[in-house]
């Protein structure tokens, strides 16, 4: 697993990521400051974004989490697997979903639908990275708030994993072709 990071291309440094999260926090604040929102961290990928973003939002909010995943430590997605629902009621709430990556959009779209079914008044989404390609398959084609954009490569770091590892990588990296089978 050590060679995965050594052979990867660093797309964004921690400094670049922090600046992008600052800018995203300003945009979120301008839209949501008066809504008393519920931030829902989409586990596991959204945990690092949530930890960096939440302190930059200077308005009252609640934080909870939801665990729904398509990847389950694999390199490709499959059916959505629901693990944990939030403990906080969504009824009448403005909800902000925080996730690591917007790839095809299926996970965020499914969670958004679920939140609305639970009675959320509004559901917004914020992602650290939007992967640029033409394979967006969900009914939503982009998040409401996006910090960074990246080319269509296998990404890891800052919440995104490589086979369950390297969510903690110090930046956002593109795995080498040798590690993705490309």
Domain ranges (residues) in the chain: 2-180
Question: What was the pLDDT predicted at 83?
Answer: 75
- Residues of 14-28 as b/e, b for ≥16 C-beta within 10 angstroms? eeebeebbeebbeeb
Cα Rg of the chain, angstroms: 16
Contact indicator for 125, 71 with CB cutoff of 8 Å? no
- According to the model, what pLDDT value does residue 70 have? 63
Q: Any idea which fold 2-180 has?
A: Rossmann fold (3.40.50)
Q: Could you tell me the two tokens for 56? A: 């930059």
Calculate the alpha carbon distances from 83 to 5, 76, 77, 148 in Å: 29, 18, 16, 28
Give the pLDDT confidence score for residue 84 in this predicted structure.
85
Q: What pLDDT was estimated at residue 130? A: 97
pLDDT of 79: 67
Q: Along the chain (182 residues), what's the average pLDDT of each consecutive run of 10 residues?
A: 92 98 98 97 95 97 90 55 86 97 90 95 98 85 96 95 94 90 62
pTM (two decimals): 0.90
């Amino acid at each position: 697993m050590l060679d995965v990071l050594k052979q990867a291309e660093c797309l964004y440094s921690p400094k670049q990521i922090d600046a992008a999260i600052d800018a995203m926090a300003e945009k979120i604040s301008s839209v949501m400051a008066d809504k008393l929102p519920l931030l829902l961290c989409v586990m596991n990928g959204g945990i690092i974004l949530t930890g960096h973003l939440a302190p930059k939002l200077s308005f009252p909010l609640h934080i909870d989490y939801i665990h729904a995943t398509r990847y389950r430590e694999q390199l490709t997605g499959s059916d959505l697997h629901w693990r944990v629902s939030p403990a906080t009621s969504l009824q009448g709430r403005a909800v902000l979903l925080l996730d690591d990556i917007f790839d095809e959009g299926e996970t965020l779209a499914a969670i958004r639908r679920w939140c609305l079914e639970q009675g959320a008044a509004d559901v917004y989404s914020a992602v650290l990275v939007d992967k640029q390609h033409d394979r967006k398959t969900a009914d939503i084609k982009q998040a409401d708030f996006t910090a960074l954009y990246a080319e269509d490569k296998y990404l890891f770091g800052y919440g995104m994993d490589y086979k369950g590892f390297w969510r903690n990588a110090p930046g956002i990296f593109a795995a080498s072709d040798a590690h993705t089978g490309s």
